[in-house]
Structure 1
């Protein structure tokens, strides 16, 4: 039960990528120039996120045709997503970040090629530093030094006819759910009907971010121990480097649960003493990882040290009234669970799952509104021992393009010991293969050894 992921072959870090063309793409129709309000959830997410989407060769859609289709599709989708063609700016009057929806700024479109085939670049699941060559997001020669685009799309073709679609977007633009919707809409605009007209959008996005504005006056009705207040001068934006670790040597490994492993964890989580625990795949995997991570961190073997795991919760269905599922911004808040190392090591697994379950249940309408109002009064970030970031069920690889679904979709991984990533398997066509999960862990060598030891130990309990 549970294994250490073994890459299929050696990793090639130099993908031999050449950038051939860089241009700006503008909305295909005129869009109004206007500022866009950004709620408090967005205000703390001013950093870029890179994702990659790999496609096998399709003889009907060689890379040059795909590239042109994507250029046109991006231009079309910039009409409903007009903020993507704009820029982020500080409103000096309100002292808040906002989108300047200015279509004259544009999104960046890059055309590149690799001297390798898709098979030659190696295992797509295993995080490869070379993947950063597939989405270049710094020092773009057609932009002024201080011009920071909100959206960059790089299409890189491989010798075999396959290609990679690399996106770099400012996190303020999307959360994982709304980015999936964006991809569905981009794919829809890559299709043409018999008269060469685009198909309708897959989902019309909801761009009204005032739906997550703080209440007036703000009412913080919970202590919010999961949030850390920072002393930041009024009008000065938060620095995303708060999320980064100090420079240190980190080992990284991928631990793997297949569907039967997850079902076994669910059975282990069942207990008549915790009848209200929500025993989901996410909750049992999170509980297992939390247990290992907390105990690997505990160098002094302090059994009374309190460990806190953070994880994102989609608040769209939890608000009253519910937020539209098509909401095109960030609609996730950080929930948490806390326990002593003694409880995590000696207590029943069912109790740990119950704590994680309670953390998710805590995020109802009032708690979410209180957290948003906390951000109106304070400046700060989520506060815990580590954040578990799940890309597992986002479904990027299920988006259907004219040339087919991606072979695999993944984030470009940065090694951070405070963040553990969950991401899916490559879907090989088997009905349940994609139900398994890969757990990416980066830790200093001593902690990594302890993490792996606990990971194996608890499987035998």
Structure 2
């Protein structure tokens, strides 16, 4: 599939910034909103995805108008990252716009690609002339520390790390049978966990912002290789369950304290590694409403993440064919692919 996609010949027809379109008087374009503690600790990176729809589809001009309408509800996506007078990171609600690129190709997508959320659903509704329902919640100031704060868990070395961490520190490793790790190594896998349903009171799904922390289940590589699959599944379940309301509240209290600045701590998510081997990171997109995106011609027949340069990244998502199955997108170095395929065949045979 990768080689076929490389052969695509795309022509860029136009590239422009689309600004929000408002009914009546536009809001002030000099406002800014502070980032929450969850925004600050999360990745500062673009996530690219591919949607494909079967004809008939709306005109590009209708799609552009729908984008302008959707941006009036999701102003953050038309704004820019910046800093306030204290040097704190903020989102500038300046309505600078979101880039829209029109491109064409003579190739047929259905013959080229194997077939098998939030804002985008609103964009589709706006293109069809429907209101945004439910409307997004933008209140990033809801995650305030308790008084007095109560830090019950260790967050150093988990969500935060010193700015100048030594390269010789003992870093937990991640088990990947395909990578041929020593069985005596203690390993971990980093799993993103959505806090909306874990905080009390529950945060509505319509909250438009980051609300993710990470679980780090760990074990000996030998145990992962030699014990049943249920052993690894139990470790993952236990690690995720640990991130309850108490843990999220503890993180809010610690991340909001002066200790982060005093100790020169930075978010571990910002420690970018193009090759994570022998580490591994897993993101679940199973609850994202991908199939609800409709610009007027029906739901997408294909949704998939684009190529990622981070080796060791796994993305779990519902199958594009809508039969309830799960697709797993894995990013590996070329010399690990054959071993990984063989392990997948063996796992399937044993199920």
Tell me the TM-score normalized by structure 2. Answer: 0.82
**Structure 2 matches for 1:186-225, cutoff 5 A?**
186-192=123-129, 199-215=130-146, 219-224=150-155
Task: Work out whether 1:324 is the aligned partner of 2:204.
Answer: yes
| Alignment length (residue pairs) | 323
Q: Over residues 210-246 of structure 1, what are the superposed CA-to-partner deviations in whole Å (9 max), with x where a residue is unaligned?
A: 123455665432124543504169xxxxxxxxxxxxx
Q: Over residues 101-130 of structure 1, what are the superposed CA-to-partner deviations in whole Å (9 max), with x where a residue is unaligned?
A: 012x2222222221223334x01559xxxx
Is this contact kept in 2: 1:40–1:214, CA < 8 A? no
Task: Work out whether 1:305 is the aligned partner of 2:194.
Answer: no
Task: Work out whether 1:231 is the aligned partner of 2:120.
Answer: no
Q: Over residues 349-386 of structure 1, what are the superposed CA-to-partner deviations in whole Å (9 max), with x where a residue is unaligned?
A: 32221111111211111101223444442312159921
Is this contact kept in 1: 2:177–2:225, CA < 8 A? yes
Q: Over residues 256-275 of structure 1, what are the superposed CA-to-partner deviations in whole Å (9 max), with x where a residue is unaligned?
A: xxxxxxxxxxxxxxxxxxxx
Task: Work out whether 1:107 is the aligned partner of 2:44.
Answer: no
Aligned match of 2:327: 438
Unaligned 5+ runs, structure 1: 1-6, 127-179, 193-198, 234-289, 428-432
Q: Residue 22 of structure 1: CA displacement?
A: 2.2
Aligned match of 2:178: 296
Distance in 2 separating the partners of 1:220 and 1:20: 54
- Secondary structure (helix, strand or coil) at the match of 2:189 reads strand
Distance in 2 separating the partners of 1:346 and 1:204: 49
Aligned match of 2:266: 379
Aligned match of 2:312: 418
- Secondary structure (helix, strand or coil) at the match of 2:187 reads strand
Distance in 1 separating the partners of 2:31 and 2:311: 40
Is this contact kept in 1: 2:121–2:292, CA < 8 A? no
Q: Residue 49 of structure 1: CA displacement?
A: 1.3
- Secondary structure (helix, strand or coil) at the match of 2:110 reads coil
Q: Report the CA distance shift for 1:79/1:444 in structure 2 as closer, same or farther (over 3 A).
A: closer
Distance in 2 separating the partners of 1:214 and 1:410: 37
Q: Over residues 170-214 of structure 1, what are the superposed CA-to-partner deviations in whole Å (9 max), with x where a residue is unaligned?
A: xxxxxxxxxx1212211111123xxxxxx3212110000112345
Root-mean-square deviation (CA), in Å?
A: 2.8
Unaligned 5+ runs, structure 2: 166-172
Distance in 1 separating the partners of 2:250 and 2:307: 32
Q: Over residues 48-80 of structure 1, what are the superposed CA-to-partner deviations in whole Å (9 max), with x where a residue is unaligned?
A: 11122111111xx4xxx4211111111111212
Aligned match of 2:107: 116
- Secondary structure (helix, strand or coil) at the match of 2:100 reads strand
Aligned match of 2:168: none
